[in-house]
């Protein structure tokens, strides 16, 4: 997902009880929309398409319902056939940080070396963008990136190997306490580059009774086909994905039968790239 670093609206201080509908006859929550363990929810980039040498802001959204207090590793890998170009940079172009308010934010410069590749004004080169979240001490790559080993050392080589092919490296990691997400930033010199959707949703704290549901209405400003996805730490949404029609989409959040706090994320992705995230807080009571 390449999407905006624009921070989505957070829940307001005063709770507002939205009209609720009983579960009976309304389907119910889809289990796949429940977030019950550490997960990188989305990686968004603003702007999603940049020229060589230009800067993009990257925001990784991290869910931590188990309160494991994770560390996150963000990096790009521009691989033209001989590993990541970023491997020549200090700390190999990585950012290590604990999420703040559920996000890790950093900046990246699109490699100037790509200027010749995209000079025709039509070529678009995707640069891979990765986010790894791990419980403390679980992921060796995070420890290596934190130590920033000197080039040419065994540790630097081990880190470079992981950054170039994290899918293979992740096979050695435990399933619990780790989450790896892949996105991209597009590099071009097009006159009209890709832009992110603008996503607007509720700006109040959401409250639903146990065993009930509420409809959440969103507006989306974006060209082309846009798809929305909803996730929560309490209950679930009624579908795994939603089509945005005429700039609007409504998601139904079902509270669980157990009272408690909830975090909610709605993510929209454009057909040609670009995305945005809304994050809200709620309660089942």
Can you give the pLDDT at residue 80? Answer: 87
Looking at the predicted structure, is the pLDDT value of residue 16 above 50? Answer: no
Query: What average pLDDT score do residues 19-42 get?
Result: 76
pLDDT score at 203: 95
Q: Mean pLDDT across the stretch 197-203?
A: 97
pLDDT confidence band for 3 (50 / 70 / 90): very low
**pLDDT above 90 as % of the chain:** 87
pTM of the model as a whole: 0.88
All structural domains of the chain: 15-36+194-284 (2.20.130.20), 49-187 (no CATH)
Q: What percent of the chain has pLDDT over 70?
A: 91
Q: What is the pLDDT of residues 85-96, one digit of tens each?
A: 999 888 899 999
Tell me which DSSP letter residue 89 carries: S
Q: Is the pLDDT of residue 39 over 80?
A: yes
Indicate if the pLDDT at residue 8 is higher than 80.
Answer: no
pLDDT at 83: 86
CA 49 to chain centre: 17
Answer whether 49's CB lies under 8 Å from 273's CB: yes
DSSP 203-261: -SEEEE-TTEEEEEEEEEE-SS-EEEEEEESSSEES-S-EE-BTTEEEEEEEP-SS-EE
Kindly state the average pLDDT of the residues 181-192: 97
Mean pLDDT value across residues 229-257: 97
Phi, psi of 162 (to 5 degrees): -65, -45
| Summary count for the chain: helices (H), strands (E) | 3, 19
Question: What integer is the mean pLDDT of 52-58?
Answer: 97
Task: Return the pLDDT at 78.
Answer: 95
| Average pLDDT score, the chain | 90
Helices (H), ranges, the chain: 140-147, 154-164, 166-170
């Amino acid at each position: 997902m390449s999407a905006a670093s624009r921070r989505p609206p957070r829940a307001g201080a005063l709770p507002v009880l939205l009209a609720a509908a009983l579960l009976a006859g309304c389907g119910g929550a889809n289990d796949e929309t429940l977030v019950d363990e550490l997960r990188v929810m989305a990686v968004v980039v603003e702007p999603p398409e940049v020229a060589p040498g230009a800067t993009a802001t990257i925001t990784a959204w991290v869910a931590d319902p188990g309160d494991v207090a994770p560390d996150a590793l963000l990096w790009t890998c521009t691989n033209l056939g001989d590993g990541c170009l970023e491997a020549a940079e200090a700390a190999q172009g990585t950012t290590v940080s604990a999420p703040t308010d559920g996000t890790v934010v950093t900046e990246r410069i699109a490699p100037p070396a790509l200027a010749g590749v995209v000079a025709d004004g039509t070529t678009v080169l995707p640069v891979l963008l990765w986010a790894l979240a791990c419980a403390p001490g679980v992921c060796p790559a995070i420890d290596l990136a934190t130590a920033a080993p000197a080039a040419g050392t065994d540790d630097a080589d081990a880190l470079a190997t992981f950054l170039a092919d994290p899918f293979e490296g992740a096979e050695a990691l435990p399933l619990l306490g780790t989450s790896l997400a892949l996105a991209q930033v597009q590099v071009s010199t097009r006159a009209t580059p890709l832009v992110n959707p603008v996503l607007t949703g509720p700006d109040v704290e959401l409250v639903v009774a146990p065993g009930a549901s509420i409809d959440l209405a969103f507006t989306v400003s974006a060209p082309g086909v846009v798809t929305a996805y909803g996730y929560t730490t309490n209950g679930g949404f009624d579908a795994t994905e939603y089509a945005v029609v005429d700039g609007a989409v409504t998601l139904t959040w079902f509270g669980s039968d157990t009272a408690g706090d909830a975090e909610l994320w709605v993510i929209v992705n454009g057909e040609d790239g670009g995305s945005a995230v809304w994050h809200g807080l709620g309660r089942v009571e």
